[in-house]
Amino acid sequence: MKYLIVGLGNIGAEYENTRHNIGFNTLDAFAKASNVVFKPARLGDQCVVKFKGRTLVLLKPSTYMNLSGKAVNYWLQEEKIPIERLLVITDDLALPFGTLRLKGKGSDGGHNGLKNIQEILGNSQYARLRFGVGNDFPKGQQVNYVLSKWSDEESAKLEERLQQCLKIIQGFCTIGLARTMSDYNGK
């Protein structure tokens, strides 16, 4: 069985290690732990991980956050992966830092990357792993906040949270969405 695991982020050195790029960071950690390397591909950087008889196609779209749907749709079609085996990893301002929430569907929550994916795919019935980045910013400073680097305190906790993300991705692909949600949400 094939799965498409998409980490949302923006390309370019100025966006590296920013809150908005946690999807890219998560997939980089997954690739490193799996001893695979991302290579440039159509509409993004891509690599393949084999895990317990499953094939996981990891994708970091190069379309910029607000146009992520084009890359997601292309790779779903190219790899012939049904939407039920799509997992999108994204930052979430509504969750405290480090909170991980796996959902099987839902609104875009004001996230432009999710909004574009929903528009292009024509529905919101796909799994997403939301990584809480908190909302510790003054009114009107949301964009600056998500595009800024992690604080020292957040950076110290980031590796452990990324390792938890890897377990959630593996669970999604092996024991399924419902059980993985039960095992990891709120923990």
Give pLDDT tens digits for 117-149.
999 999 999 999 999 998 888 787 788 888 889
Backbone angles phi, psi at 162, to 5 degrees: -65, -40
pLDDT tier, 30 (very low <50, low <70, confident <90, very high otherwise): very high
CB atoms within 10 A of CB 40: 8
Token code pair at residue 103: 């959902």
Q: Angle at Cα 172 formed by Cα 34 and Cα 164, nearest 5°? A: 60
Enumerate the active-site residues: 20
pTM of the model: 0.95
pLDDT of residue 2: 97
Q: d(Cα 92, Cα 74) in Å, to the nearest integer?
A: 25
In order of their start, the domains of the chain are: 2-184 (3.40.50.1470)
When pLDDT is averaged across residues 147-168 and rounded to a whole number, the result is: 94
CB within 8 Å of 31: residues ≥ 6 apart: 37, 38, 47, 49, 58
Identify the pLDDT of residue 136: 80
